């Protein structure tokens, strides 16, 4: 039993990448969240709603802030300077001198458009980060759902075996009273039943904990249900590897989209920073009146040319960041493809193992138990041999449940991944 628990823990870790995309799939086929139970089909809609109502608000606020910044960027018309002057010459013939000047400063190089473009790109990058955060949230929801499902399947199997053992224990006790079986053999059988009862109690607790962890994440009291996820005794293995349909669609993975959006935003910021070093044009007019009969007007034109490039270092740094993000995206695509290839190989191994468990363990051990039961009834074998045979069959069934659960989770997860990538991962 301890070895089984260790194997299940390893399985949950090994399939984390698959579960990371499972909950985000097949949104169109999702059942209403108002159903009396939380199912695999309704999980995508439920997890998305929980994210949007909780942590998603922070990300949505950041996206709205970036969109608001686009409208807040000032135009290329930077300043309007007005200057008036009044002088009174008490000794000269001209008397009072009045002047009025107006000067408009215009930034050259399209800086305003580049700033708006940078904020639009930033809004897209933040939206992609929000989608990735939602995706990560749905990953955890899927992982917790399957963790519950695994424990529930094992608990049901142990409960069925316990019922069988209880039916077997009653006639054994009767045989002891008739002195057909020794008390020592009966004690061995009772110890075996106690071991199964302890395992059942432990699994019931794990099922309850896994359900509460899932409900706590989603903020719901709906009990989880395995409806639509598949049945352990109806595992279809004569089908193509489900991960083959996923590998060629990885370009739409939310993480890759987030990296691409961040690259575009960094490049847009670099272009905006580069435009900061552009020249400014000043255009204006002046009016002057001296005394009572001397008036004239003047046109003012000026150019402000920065010496050096004050924003060059920032622009170069942002351009380097954009290049680095592009390289990171290419590397992550290779890593994701390798991970999907590993999942495809793991699925093939699980199917092979499932067939071997059925053919080499479950079927022959089931026949072995029947033979021992007949031998015990005929008086040709001891009850202790039957107890050992039933224990071996229980362990074989544990292996069967574990591998069948792995195969089913691969199939469900791969189908959900393919649906997610086909739709672009959009809600």
pLDDT value of residue 33: 41
For residues 194 and 1, the answer to whether their CB atoms sit within 8 Å is: no
How far is it, in rounded angstroms, from Cα 221 to Cα 241? 36
> Per-residue pLDDT tens for 248-269?
788 888 889 999 999 999 998 8
Share of the chain above pLDDT 90, in %: 20
pLDDT tier at 28, thresholds 50, 70, 90:
very low
Average the pLDDT over 1-22 and give the result: 31
**What is the secondary structure of 136-163 as a DSSP string?**
HHHHHHHHHHHHHHHHHHHHHHHHHHHH
Share of the chain above pLDDT 70, in %: 79
> Per-residue pLDDT tens for 155-186?
888 888 788 777 777 777 776 676 666 676 67
Can you read off the two tokens belonging to residue 46? Answer: 């439920």
Please give the residue that has the higher pLDDT: either 378 or 403. 403
Average the pLDDT over 290-310 and give the result: 71
Please give the residue that has the higher pLDDT: either 119 or 312. 119
pLDDT value of residue 14: 29
Residue 32 per-residue DSSP state: P
How far is it, in rounded angstroms, from Cα 267 to Cα 389? 69
pLDDT value of residue 92: 56
Average the pLDDT over 293-309 and give the result: 72
Q: Is the pLDDT of residue 344 over 90?
A: yes
Tell me the β-bridge partners of 284: 103, 300
DSSP E strands: which ranges in 77-177?
Answer: 77-88, 96-107
| Distance (Å) of CA 368 to CA 193, 255, 356, 385 | 20, 52, 17, 10
Can you read off the two tokens belonging to residue 394? Answer: 């229980």
Mean pLDDT of the chain: 78
How far is it, in rounded angstroms, from Cα 390 to Cα 400? 15
Please give the residue that has the higher pLDDT: either 413 or 29. 413
Can you read off the two tokens belonging to residue 284? Answer: 């204006």
Can you read off the two tokens belonging to residue 261? Answer: 């959006």
Q: Is the pLDDT of residue 58 over 70?
A: yes
How far is it, in rounded angstroms, from Cα 47 to Cα 55? 11
Q: Is the pLDDT of residue 345 over 90?
A: yes
- What are the phi and psi torsion angles at 304 (to 5°)? -110, 115
> Per-residue pLDDT tens for 141-161?
888 888 898 888 888 888 887
Sign of CA dihedral 413, 417, 423, 427: positive
pLDDT value of residue 349: 95
Sign of CA dihedral 174, 178, 184, 185: negative
pLDDT tier at 214, thresholds 50, 70, 90:
very high
Residues 6+ apart with CB under 8 A from 202: none
Tell me the β-bridge partners of 87: 97
How far is it, in rounded angstroms, from Cα 266 to Cα 315? 9
Average the pLDDT over 29-49 and give the result: 73
pLDDT value of residue 223: 92
The SS3 of residue 224 is strand
Please give the residue that has the higher pLDDT: either 266 or 191. 266
Report for 107-121, 296-310, 346-360, 371-385: range of highest mean pLDDT: 346-360
Please give the residue that has the higher pLDDT: either 20 or 77. 77
pLDDT tier at 238, thresholds 50, 70, 90:
confident
Residues 6+ apart with CB under 8 A from 105: 77, 78, 79, 80, 81, 280, 281, 282, 304
For residues 97 and 290, the answer to whether their CB atoms sit within 8 Å is: yes
Q: Is the pLDDT of residue 287 over 60?
A: yes
What domains are defined for the chain? Answer: 2-73+112-266+334-422 (1.20.1600.10)
How far is it, in rounded angstroms, from Cα 382 to Cα 337? 56
How far is it, in rounded angstroms, from Cα 24 to Cα 45? 8
Please give the residue that has the higher pLDDT: either 188 or 111. 111
pLDDT value of residue 308: 63
Sign of CA dihedral 326, 330, 335, 339: positive
> Per-residue pLDDT tens for 353-365?
999 998 888 889 8
């Amino acid at each position: 039993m301890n070895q089984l628990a260790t194997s299940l823990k390893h399985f949950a870790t090994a399939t984390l990448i698959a579960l990371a995309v499972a909950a985000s799939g097949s949104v169109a086929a999702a059942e209403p969240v108002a159903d009396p139970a939380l199912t695999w089909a309704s999980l995508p809609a439920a997890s998305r709603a929980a994210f949007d109502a909780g942590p998603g608000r922070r990300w949505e606020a950041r996206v709205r802030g970036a969109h608001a910044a686009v409208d807040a960027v000032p135009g290329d018309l930077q300043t309007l300077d007005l200057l008036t002057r009044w002088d009174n010459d008490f000794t000269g013939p001209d008397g009072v001198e009045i002047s009025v000047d107006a000067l408009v400063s215009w930034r050259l190089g399209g800086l305003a458009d580049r700033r708006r473009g940078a904020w639009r790109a930033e809004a897209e990058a933040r939206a992609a980060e929000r989608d990735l955060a939602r995706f990560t949230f749905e990953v955890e929801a899927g992982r917790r759902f399957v963790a519950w499902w695994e424990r529930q399947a094992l608990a049901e199997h142990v409960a069925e075996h316990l019922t069988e053992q209880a039916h077997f224990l009653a006639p054994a006790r009767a045989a002891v009273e008739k002195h057909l079986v020794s008390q020592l053999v009966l004690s061995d059988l009772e110890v075996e039943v106690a071991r199964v009862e302890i395992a059942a109690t432990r699994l019931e607790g794990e099922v309850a904990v896994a359900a509460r962890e899932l409900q706590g994440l989603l903020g719901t009291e709906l009990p989880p249900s395995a409806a639509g996820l598949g049945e352990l005794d109806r595992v279809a293995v004569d089908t193509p590897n489900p991960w083959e349909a996923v590998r060629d669609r990885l370009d739409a993975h939310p993480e890759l989209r987030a990296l691409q959006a961040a690259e575009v935003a960094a490049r847009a910021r670099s272009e905006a920073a580069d435009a900061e070093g552009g020249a400014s044009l000043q255009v204006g007019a002046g009016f002057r009146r001296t005394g009572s009969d001397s008036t004239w007007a003047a046109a003012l034109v000026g150019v402000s040319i920065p010496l050096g490039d004050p924003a060059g270092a920032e622009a170069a740094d942002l351009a380097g960041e954009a290049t680095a993000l592009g390289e990171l995206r290419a590397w992550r695509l290779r890593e994701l493809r390798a991970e999907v290839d590993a999942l495809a190989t793991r699925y093939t191994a699980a199917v092979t193992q499932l067939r071997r468990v059925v053919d080499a363990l479950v079927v022959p051990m089931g026949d072995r138990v029947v033979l021992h039961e007949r031998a015990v009834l005929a008086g040709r074998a001891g009850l202790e041999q039957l107890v050992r045979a039933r224990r071996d069959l229980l362990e074989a069934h544990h292996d069967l449940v574990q591998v069948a659960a792995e195969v089913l989770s691969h199939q469900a997860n791969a189908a959900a991944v393919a649906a997610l990538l086909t739709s672009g991962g959009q809600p």
